[in-house]
Amino acid sequence: MSTASADVVADAPARPLTLLSEEEQMFQASVRRFAREQIGPHVRSMDEAGLFRPELLQQMFALGLMGIDIPEEYGGQGGTFFQSVLAVEELAKVDPAAAVIVDVQNTLVNNAILRWATEEQKRTYLPRLASNTLASYALSEAGAGSDAFALSTRAVDKGDYWSLTGRKLWITNAHEAGLFLVFATIDPALGYKGITCFLVERDSPGFAVGKKEDKLGIRASSTCELILDDCRVPKANVMGEVGKGYKIAIETLNEGRIAIGGQMLGLAAGALDHAVAYAKQRKAFGKVIGEFQGVQFEIAQMAVEVEAARLLVYNAARLRDGGHDFVSQAAMAKYFASDIAEKCASRAIEVLGGVGFTKDYPVEKLYRDAKIGRIYEGTSNMQRVVIAKDLLSR
């Protein structure tokens, strides 16, 4: 990140806190400070290199950001799902790539293990996930994207172990991960009823991390293919019941969508912060551009959209933590936040004008990062399907 862009981040005021307890405010402030002071100076270089700095990942583990709602008995922070979403939001204001690393670890992998793993599996893996092991969630394949259960990766019972063969694509965190939640089918003829979830360690025989994707945005977050060629997985590493992996995938992704909404919310809020800070500094025709009504309208529109997204995301996270139905609210949060992230990043570039189109300021990166929000963990069209079906089924 250039000096100019770093100054904008430093000068940006914290947005008003909405519906947060004192403990949550303190947690939010600590993550915000870490993001600005430790991650901020490296955002541009990591984006250009397409790599996340290992020392920053180590710091995130040391701060407890990789095991937020893992209970203390397993070495975690004993926090809440809502706090995981807060962390994702604050990190995304500075670097959405850092945010998705924390997101996948907490709201997908840790969450799935807490809900579905055996006690022995929890004691084996949760302390590692809280302290030093990054994880990946491996569901997608070339022919299984929105139709997630059309996957072809096969799992064959070999008596003493399971043999997994297939290829996974677009797997977040894969370059650095030491543990993978891999979904495979025991029989394609069974459809979704054949899907099973396996805990696969990186050094498993027959397992390899393949091509790393060269992406438009969130470039510091690794996205790779996984190659399984007679990958041997112990029988003890089946998570949940054989043939019930579809339930793990559906329920975990429903929760993970809230955090993606949080990532897109944070991105939009970061874009707004940059636009406001720049509008207070840049002068044209003898006065700062923030005094022009045209600029004020753009900023006002962004502020309304960010606040609306925040309320949707926070509400969905609170419903989840409270044990209430939240599937439709999660879909709404992700759909709306993904939409306004693109719009806010675009408006921020326009407020900054020519410099906003350059890499000297971070808004062009936020614009590139925003696009993935409408695609991963359920496309915007799939979210609309979920929302509509819920309404029509009542």
List all residues 6 or more positions away from 21 whose beta carbon is below 8 Å from its beta carbon: none
Which of 89, 141, 176, 377 is the catalytic position? 377
298 is catalytic: no
How would you write the chain as a 3-class SS string? CCHHHHHHHHHCCCCCCCCCCHHHHHHHHHHHHHHHHHHHHHHHHHHHHCCCCHHHHHHHHHCCCCCCCCCHHHCCCCCCHHHHHHHHHHHHHHCHHHHHHHHHHHHHHHHHHHHHCCHHHHHHHHHHHHHCCCEEEECCECCECCCHHHCCCEEEECCCEEEEEEEEEEEECCCCCCEEEEEEECCHHHHHHHEEEEEEECCCCCEEEEEECCCCCCCCCCEEEEEEEEEEEEHHHEECCCCCHHHHHHHHHHHHHHHHHHHHHHHHHHHHHHHHHHHHHCEECCEEHHHCHHHHHHHHHHHHHHHHHHHHHHHHHHHHHCCCCCHHHHHHHHHHHHHHHHHHHHHHHHHHHHHHHCCCCCHHHHHHHHHHHHCCCCCHHHHHHHHHHHHHCC
From CA 307, how far away is CA 343, in angstroms rounded? 14
CA dihedral 32, 30, 334, 306 (to 10 degrees): -50
Residue 71 burial class via C-beta count within 10 angstroms: exposed 0-12, middle 13-18, buried 19 and up: middle
In sequence order, the β-bridge partners of residue 180 are 136, 200
From CA 373, how far away is CA 350, in angstroms rounded? 21
CB 243 within 8 A of CB 194: yes
Give the catalytic positions in this structure: 377
